[in-house]
Amino acid sequence: MLLKDLRESVIEYALKVIDAGLISSTWGNISARDPESGLIAITPSGMEYRKLSPDDIVIVNKNGNIVDSKRKPSSETPMHALFYRERPEINGIVHTHSCYATAMSTLKKEIPVVLAELGACVGGPVKVAEYARGGTEEFGQAALRAIGDGTAVLQQNHGVLAIGKTLNDALFSAIVVEEAAKIYWLALQVGEPFILPDQEVKEIHEGFIKTYGQK
């Protein structure tokens, strides 16, 4: 089977996304890129993640064209392919519909850096991409414009896109974005939360890149 390990990794992280409460039913999509071949493994359209087997995962090329599959790929495949082309340093993408972050997207309100963890892994506030219909070319383009050099973006009235050098990094960003959105939302019910200064965020992010994990 072509890229069996990569397909299994996509399933593993799809289940982690569900267990983290970031998606429900068949919503959202997850992909990973093989650094050697440049091929992408992505979840299929409309299938329950807990029932997936490796041969359900679709292999596409950098343009989103199917290379190996018995299934139809996610409708957001063009967006995933676009990000892999434009952000060559990434190898994992997680697209979720997590509750608090999606609520913020409907308000067109970015998530400021209210948590050190958000500054560390995203590198700044989580911007809101202009509204575009899911599955369209503009949907991915809008997200790409808004994300800048960061690792996460809100997609207006839709959800969250998180990217990373690995699938684990992308999942971590998606989890932190939802946690920050929840805390920001709750804090706003009482008052105006303190936002970390830009310079502090910059230093936290640089430190995270250099020292976090078993390097």
pLDDT at residue 209, as a whole number: 82
Alpha carbons within 13 A on the beta-carbon side of 24: 3
Q: Which residues of the chain have pLDDT under 70?
A: 213-215
pLDDT at residue 179, as a whole number: 98
Q: How far from 177 is each of 3, 48, 59, 164, 189, CA to CA, in Å?
A: 30, 24, 28, 13, 19
Residues belonging to the active site: 76
Please, are residues 120 and 150 in contact by the beta-carbon 8 Å criterion?
A: no
pLDDT at residue 214, as a whole number: 58
Instruction: Tell me the C-alpha distance between 14 and 174, whole Å.
Output: 12
pLDDT at residue 213, as a whole number: 62
Alpha carbons within 13 A on the beta-carbon side of 98: 29
Pairing outcome for strands 40-42 and 29-33? antiparallel
pLDDT at residue 215, as a whole number: 57
Angle at 113 between CA 112 and CA 115, to 5 degrees: 135
Q: How far from 7 is each of 54, 61, 215, CA to CA, in Å?
A: 5, 14, 26
pLDDT at residue 99, as a whole number: 97
Tell me the pLDDT tens digit for each residue of 101-117. Answer: 999 999 999 999 999 99
Which domains are present in the chain?
A: 2-209 (3.40.225.10)
Residue 41: its H or E element: strand 40-42
Tell me the pLDDT tens digit for each residue of 159-176. Answer: 999 999 999 999 999 999
pLDDT at residue 3, as a whole number: 98
